[in-house]
Amino acid sequence: MGLMTTSCSTTITTASSQSAPTQNSDAKTLKPNVLLIHGILMNPLEMRYLGSQLEKSGFNVHYVYYQSVLKSPAENAAIIHDKIKELDLPNLHLVGHSLGGVLLIHLFDQIEAKKNDLPDGKVVMLGSPVKGSWIAQKVSEWPIVSPILAKSMPNALSGIDIPEWNTDRDWGMIAGTKGQGLGLLTGGLPSTSDGTVLLEETYHPKQKEHIQVDKSHTALLFSKKVADLTSLFLNTGSFKK
């Protein structure tokens, strides 16, 4: 599928005595840094392909792990914040897949209350249900699934009381439109989706740009095209070349 803007068919929606620094220190200062945040029931391993592609594009790539089953979105956002403080970098872009993107909304909400202490950077989300998740709400009623999703439903996947977008950072969303995924277990999804997240669930008025790609939810993480688009937005603030 082509790229798109709100007004065109291509689907980008506009919107010296001291010790010398070590090579690693120089790299952290001179190269852009990016932190990758995985989705629900996943871990940093699933982010490695995307990370390797971003490294080839000149980024220092960092990863963080959180427990979606055991902790709430607010608690996991605090874990991400702790990781950012631990890295102590002059710049840091943030890329979240699925629930990982929603956690960034919570992160910025928490930081706004404390005054912004985050390094400068842009935000890219991949298939993040920023309005809540139809499929999560559907399957959360299943006895075997309910305890798995319980912590991530309130203020996130439920779509209820998700915090406002409390930052002026450039924010881009890459959404999939290939409907192959978890939705098959429910007899399909009610509208265009990546198989797990509805396309309409990925839109937010504070996004600078929104772009669609013909990928399923998990395949967003293993696509060179998605990696290239992510790199482009982080470097330029736009998905447009």
pLDDT for the residue numbered 28: 58
**DSSP secondary structure string, 27-59?**
HHHHS-EEEEE--TT--GGGGHHHHHHHHHTT-
Q: Which residue has the tokens 């010296």?
A: 16
Task: List the structure tokens of 108.
Answer: 């910025």
- Residue 8 above 60 pLDDT? no
pLDDT for the residue numbered 30: 83
Q: Give percent of the chain above pLDDT 90.
A: 75
- Residue 227 above 70 pLDDT? yes
Residues 45 and 168: their CA atoms lie apart, in Å, by 30
pLDDT for the residue numbered 115: 62
Task: Name which of 75, 219, 47, 193 is nearest 129 in CA terms.
Answer: 193
- Residue 12 above 70 pLDDT? no
Task: List the structure tokens of 147.
Answer: 């305890």
Q: Please count the other Cβ atoms lying within 10 Å of the Cβ belonging to residue 40.
A: 23
Q: Which residue has the tokens 């309910």?
A: 146
pLDDT for the residue numbered 141: 84
- Residue 14 above 70 pLDDT? no
Task: Give the β-pairing of 209-213 and 12-13.
Answer: antiparallel
Buried b / exposed e over 5-29, threshold 16 CB at 10 Å, is beeeeebbbebeeeeeeeeeeeebe
Residues 214 and 239: their CA atoms lie apart, in Å, by 15
Q: Which residue has the tokens 């982010």?
A: 47
Residue range 181-208: mean pLDDT, rounded: 90
pLDDT per position as a tens digit, 96-154: 999 999 999 999 999 876 666 799 999 999 999 999 999 999 888 888 889 999 999 99
Sheet holding 60-64, edge to edge: 12-13, 209-213, 171-176, 123-126, 93-97, 33-37, 60-64
CATH 3.90.1150.10 fits 24-236, yes or no: no
Residues 6 and 93: their CA atoms lie apart, in Å, by 25
